[in-house]
Amino acid sequence: MSKTVIAFSDLRDWEQRKRAQLINSLGGFKSVCLIGTISKSGQSNLAIFNSVIHLGANPPLVAFIIRPDSVERHTLENILETGFYTINHINEAIYKQAHQTSARYPGEVSEFDATGLNSEFKNDFLAPFVAESNVSFGVQFKERIDITLNGTTLMIGEIRLISYPENCLCEDGFLDIEKAESLTCSGLDSYHKTVRLSRLTYAKPDIEPTEIEMRYRE
Amino acid sequence: MSKTVIAFSDLRDWEQRKRAQLINSLGGFKSVCLIGTISKSGQSNLAIFNSVIHLGANPPLVAFIIRPDSVERHTLENILETGFYTINHINEAIYKQAHQTSARYPGEVSEFDATGLNSEFKNDFLAPFVAESNVSFGVQFKERIDITLNGTTLMIGEIRLISYPENCLCEDGFLDIEKAESLTCSGLDSYHKTVRLSRLTYAKPDIEPTEIEMRYRE
In whole angstroms, give the CA distance from residue A91 to residue A105: 23
SS3 B16: helix
Run of H or E including B55: strand B53-57
For A21-80, write each residue's pLDDT tens digit.
999 999 999 999 999 999 999 999 999 999 999 999 999 999 999 998 777 889 999 999
What are the DSSP calls for B107-159, one per residue?
TTS-HHHHHTPPEE--TT-SSPEETT-SSEEEEEEEEEEEETTTTEEEEEEEE
Return residues 96-125 of A near B (CB < 8 Å): 96, 99-105, 109, 114, 122-123
Q: What is the SS3 assignment for B42?
A: coil
The dihedral built from the CA positions of residue A128, A130, A136 and A142, taken in this order, carries a sign that is negative
Distance (Å) of CA B5 to CA A124, A138, A161, A163, B18: 12, 10, 7, 4, 17
Taking residues A129-140, report their average pLDDT: 98
**Cβ–Cβ under 8 Å, residues B180 and B21:** no
- Which of B12 and B47 is assigned the larger pLDDT? B47
Scanning B40-69 for CB atoms below 8 A from A yields 50-62, 65, 67
Please tell me the least confidently modeled range out of A25-34, A99-108, A131-140: A99-108
A192 neighbourhood in chain B, CB within 8 Å: 178, 184, 194-197
Closest partner CB to B27 (pick from A53, A145, A207): A53
> A184, B29 in Cβ contact below 8 A?
yes
pLDDT-based confidence at residue B206 (cuts at 50, 70, 90) = confident
| pLDDT level of residue B176 (50, 70, 90 thresholds) | very high
Q: Which residue has the higher pLDDT, B206 or B66?
A: B66
b/e per residue, A116-138, with b = 16+ CB within 10 A? Answer: ebebbebeebebbbbebbbbbbb
Q: Do B27 and A52 touch (CB under 8 A)?
A: yes
Q: What are the pLDDT digits (tens) for B96-151? A: 999 999 999 988 899 999 999 999 999 999 999 999 999 999 999 999 999 999 99
In chain B, the residue whose alpha carbon lies closest to the alpha carbon of A33 is B28
A187: closest CA of chain B, how far (Å): 7
Give the CATH number of domain A29-165. Answer: 2.30.110.10
**Tell me, what amino acid is at A143?**
E
User: CB distance A166–B96 less than 8 Å?
Assistant: no
Q: What is the pLDDT of residue B15?
A: 95
Nearest to B28 among A22, A177, A200 (CB): A177
Place B9 in a pLDDT band, splitting at 50, 70 and 90: very high
Strands B53-57 and A184-186 come out as unpaired
Looking at this predicted complex, what is its ipTM? 0.96
CB distance B127 to B85 below 8 Å: yes
Q: What is the 3-state secondary structure (H, E, C) of chain A?
A: CCEEEEEHHHHCCCCHHHHHHHHHHHCCCEECEEEEEECCCCCEEEEEECCCEEEEECCEEEEEEECCCHHHHHHHHHHHHHCEEEEEECCCCCHHHHHHCCCCCCCCCCHHHHHCCCEECCCCCCCCEECCCCCEEEEEEEEEEEECCCCEEEEEEEEEEEEEEHHHEECCCCECCCCCCCCEEECCCEEEEEEEEEEECCCECCECCCEECCCECC
How many angstroms away from the CA of A76 is the closest CA of chain B? Answer: 17
Name the residue type at position B167: N
What does the domain layout of chain A look like in residue ranges? 29-165
Instruction: State the nearest Cα–Cα gap between A184 and chain B, in angstroms.
Output: 6
Q: Which CATH class is domain B29-212?
A: mainly beta
The pLDDT of residue A68 is 80
> What is the rounded radius of gyration, in angstroms, for the C-alpha atoms of chain B?
19
B61 contacts A150? CB cut-off 8 A: yes
B196 touching chain A per CB within 8 A: yes
- Taking a C-beta distance cutoff of 8 angstroms, is the pair A119, A94 a contact? no
pLDDT confidence of residue A78: 97
A172 vs B21, B32, B184: nearest CB: B21
